[in-house]
A and B are shown apart, each in its own frame.
Chain A
């Protein structure tokens, strides 16, 4: 039996510090659903997802009950639809999004990811059609999430994709204008996208993955913050040690849940993504961890260093705890989903430029940031290009999930509700970058030596 204090520590983490399993995400390959007839392909997709994931929610809830640890989301990721739909004669892939939505509703999950295209070096016919279909797909479905990988350290950055996606994000914002442009919250533009990420909106099931796997995303910013609260005078080395130990425990809980669910569903366990993913609830914030280290507000000088240390220590603790660590594994900094980030933006401590700097040292990137609705598409493309450049040059994943909230401006707030939270509209640089964005072509792959 674990020691008395260990049992109490676990109970406290769950009850008071919001330790939870953020998501169990079943990855499903749809490669065998390819058909020259779009209708037949979609029928196969629906049949396969509902068959393989039939018991996902039921088993998830059962394990949640037995172990007494909440599993907040049950989700599915599928093979990028551009690869599946490309062989059909369809000229629009919205129907594919609708069938994913229908399958998600049938099995009772809240998000399905994989309405995606991988275009770091160029477009296929299917990629182009899929990208053109994104605005309508996100506006007419509830659970479908979309992503596009537009650059990689090996291929460089597809600037034609960057340009087009700026327009796609604007169109999506317009089509979902009645709900604060929420469609954009379901779309991520990646550089160096990972193929086994369980977190939305960027989850998809890579082509190198098995037929079906069970991935797990663990969270627990509240647990890390509480652990640091108890060590007010700790040096950086001591803080890193505390974070590592905490990350270790959280990861072990996630590993247990993941392997147990996988076993019961009779699918292989894929990866465990240990990411500190905040929620808008008080006590579940990454920004507050950084502030606990001694920053008045997240966003002030020192924030990038604090985040770098946090991210690194989380990875080290997690890697020790599970042999199957994958996905992003680090700290997320979505503004609208983090109560501390929201406050930091509202009080002027956290700016867009600082967020960009922070993305160079943590998982993912500019995430759930609301900007004025009249921001030009070219400016959004400029943001995508900057973020992709950080990822491509530094050999890391970066993403952009940005919402140009239609009809709103700086001083307003966008309300997304639930886990997506609320976002104060942040100002962006108003100087024009359209000539740069309109050049077209490819930013060449970076050199991988002479790193200075």
Chain B
């Protein structure tokens, strides 16, 4: 099962560190990362594999959201299915 992590907010140091730390702690593997910074606005999208995830999806989601609040960014995690459904024929 794969999911998409979206991180959006004002650029600062340690964003990737903070997000990937939580993913690693919960045995979630990062498969792909894309990021861009425009006018100090940071956007990152990660594709992650949750096959060996050691916690419940909701626990991971809460941990990411909490980390987002701490560093002042919006961090979402959503199953990959939604994006594939909406954007592929």
Contact = CB atoms under 8 A, between A and B. Distances in A.
A69 B84 CA distance: 14
Residue picked from B8, B36, B81, B87, most chain A C-beta under 10 Å: B87
A65 interface: yes
Q: Chain B contact residues: over half helix, strand or loop, or mixed?
A: strand
Contacts of A10: 82-83, 86-87
B78 A4 contact: no
Given A8-B45, A65-B57, A253 B79 contact: no
A67 B81 contact: yes
Contacts of A255: 85
Nearest to B83: A2
B6 A7 contact: yes
Contacts of A3: 87
Contacts of A6: 83, 86-87
A8 B32 CA distance: 16
B81 to A, nearest CB: 6
Contacts of A2: 4, 80, 83-84, 86-88
Contacts of A4: 34, 36, 45
Main secondary structure of the interface of A (DSSP, over half): helix
Contacts of B83: 1-2, 6-7, 10
A11 B85 contact: no
B70 interface: no
Interface string A1-23: 11110111111000100000000
A190 to B, nearest CB: 32
B82 A69 contact: yes
Nearest to A256: B85
B86 A252 contact: yes
B77 interface: yes
B80 A249 contact: no
Q: How large is the interface on A (under 10, 10 to 19, 20 to 34, 35 or more residues)?
A: 20 to 34
B4 A7 contact: yes
Contacts of B77: 68
Contact of A68 (B32, B47, B76, B86): B76
B50 to A, nearest CB: 10
Interface residues on B, range: 20 to 34
A89 to B, nearest CB: 50
B57 to A, nearest CB: 6
Contacts of B8: 11
A6 to B, nearest CB: 4
A130 B15 CA distance: 62
A19 to B, nearest CB: 10
Contacts of B45: 4, 7-8
Interface in A1-55: 1-4, 6-11, 15
A15 B78 CA distance: 13
B43 interface: yes
Contacts of A1: 4, 31-32, 47, 80, 83
A66 interface: yes
Interface in B24-82: 31-32, 34, 36, 43, 45, 47, 57-58, 61, 74, 76-82
Nearest to B43: A8
Of the listed residues A9, A65, A69, A255, the one surrounded by the most CB atoms of chain B closer than 10 A to its CB is: A65
The residue among B32, B45, B76, B81 with the most chain A CB atoms within 10 A of its own CB is B45
A243 to B, nearest CB: 16
A252 B4 contact: no
A4 B76 CA distance: 15
B87 A249 contact: yes
Interface of B: 4, 6, 8, 31-32, 34, 36, 43, 45, 47, 57-58, 61, 74, 76-88
Given A2-B84, A11-B8, A15-B74, 6 more contacts: A1-B80, A2-B86, A7-B4, A65-B61, A67-B79, A67-B82
4 closest A-B pairs (Cβ-Cβ)? A68-B78, A2-B83, A6-B87, A256-B85
23 contacts: A1-B83, A2-B80, A2-B87, A2-B88, A4-B34, A4-B36, A6-B86, A6-B87, A7-B83, A8-B6, A8-B45, A9-B87, A10-B86, A66-B57, A67-B79, A68-B77, A68-B78, A68-B79, A69-B78, A249-B86, A252-B86, A253-B82, A255-B85
